[in-house]
Chains A and B, each alone.
Chain A
């Protein structure tokens, strides 16, 4: 700073060069001090204002950040809830479907593997062999075929023997039938003979009744029941006669001087269960 430009000409003439320099130096120092003081004061003021500003900004940011954090938390909570629901759904439905698919795939794979390792034809052949062996073994037991009978030299004899046995069996069956027929005929003839001989002295009515009741019975039956049958016939005849008598008595006109008919004492009938049964047959 040049002091001479600030002073008037009269002051320049009065003051010496040294004084001017001293004044100039003093002014410069004073100005420097004043500027320094003003700058320090300004710094303090700005510092306090900045502090207040930073505090306010921090407070505002804190509030805003809290709101942002709360919003983010809420959003994340909703998203996580959805994720949990989706996860549960996937576990309950899709996982079950996946499990079924996996099980089916493994089952199919095992089927294919078994088809290659053990073909169906081999299993069929093995089962047929086993079944045939079982059948053969049972046939051997039933037919009593042992190792000796299996040789070809004995087979013809065995077949011949079997044929003979078959023929003889046929003949035996035919003879049995014939025997049965002959026995039946014999029985019928004998029955007729016995009936004829026993009914020889009887009346025609009795004979007819006896033939009707005992005609198709065996000789033994006729021998045992002939007398019973005769007694039954007599009894029935007596009953029939008594019924006819009663009817005749009931229809006639009674006369005062008619003789009193005393009822004949009836013999007490001995109840015979066999006769009763014969009566039922009749």
Chain B
């Protein structure tokens, strides 16, 4: 089962992996809020926002300078 999951993860592109990572972080954020673990929730929210900002910066870097 884990091998199959690993193979599926290996076949994913970088964007899909990033999207999955974001979803996992948001789920962890909701779980942390539910269990009133605000420090952990802050950590996961920070990771989600970092990921989104990095994606935007990467998209803008692809554009030519001139």
Report yes or no: B65 in contact with A135, Cβ–Cβ below 8 A. yes
B interface residues, how many (CB within 8 angstroms)? 16
> Please, what's the 1-or-0 string for A119-132, where 1 marks a CB less than 8 Å from any CB in chain B?
01001100110011
When distances are taken between beta carbons in the complex, the residues of chain B under 8 Å from A110 are 48-49, 52
Main secondary structure of the interface of A (DSSP, over half): helix
A77 to chain B, nearest CB (A): 33
A126 to chain B, nearest CB (A): 8
Partner of B30, one of A106, A128, A131: A106
When distances are taken between beta carbons in the complex, the residues of chain A under 8 Å from B23 are 103, 107
Report yes or no: B65 in contact with A123, Cβ–Cβ below 8 A. no
Partner of B22, one of A107, A114, A131: A107
B28 to chain A, nearest CB (A): 10
Partner of A114, one of B26, B30, B52: B52
Report yes or no: B53 in contact with A127, Cβ–Cβ below 8 A. no
Q: Which of B25-66 contact A (CB under 8 A)?
A: 26-27, 29-30, 48-49, 52-53, 56-57, 60-61, 63, 65
Report yes or no: A127 in contact with B60, Cβ–Cβ below 8 A. yes
Cα(A107)–Cα(B29), bound, Å: 11
Report yes or no: B53 in contact with A118, Cβ–Cβ below 8 A. yes
Cα(A111)–Cα(B63), bound, Å: 21
When distances are taken between beta carbons in the complex, the residues of chain A under 8 Å from B52 are 110-111, 114
When distances are taken between beta carbons in the complex, the residues of chain A under 8 Å from B27 are 99, 103
Cα(A111)–Cα(B48), bound, Å: 10
Nearest residue, chain A, Cβ from B22: A107
B19 to chain A, nearest CB (A): 9
Report yes or no: B26 in contact with A103, Cβ–Cβ below 8 A. yes
Report yes or no: A120 in contact with B48, Cβ–Cβ below 8 A. no
Q: A56 at interface (Cβ–Cβ under 8 A)?
A: no
B66 to chain A, nearest CB (A): 9
When distances are taken between beta carbons in the complex, the residues of chain B under 8 Å from A127 are 57, 60-61
When distances are taken between beta carbons in the complex, the residues of chain A under 8 Å from B57 are 123, 127
Q: A65 at interface (Cβ–Cβ under 8 A)?
A: no
Q: Which of B52, B53, B56, B61 has the most chain A CB atoms closer than 10 A to its own CB?
A: B56
Cα(A102)–Cα(B27), bound, Å: 9
When distances are taken between beta carbons in the complex, the residues of chain A under 8 Å from B30 are 102-103, 106
Closest 3 CB pairs of A and B: A124-B60, A127-B60, A103-B26
A-B contact pairs, 16 of them (CB 8 A): A103-B26, A103-B27, A103-B30, A106-B30, A107-B48, A110-B49, A111-B52, A114-B56, A118-B56, A120-B60, A123-B60, A124-B60, A124-B63, A127-B57, A127-B61, A128-B60
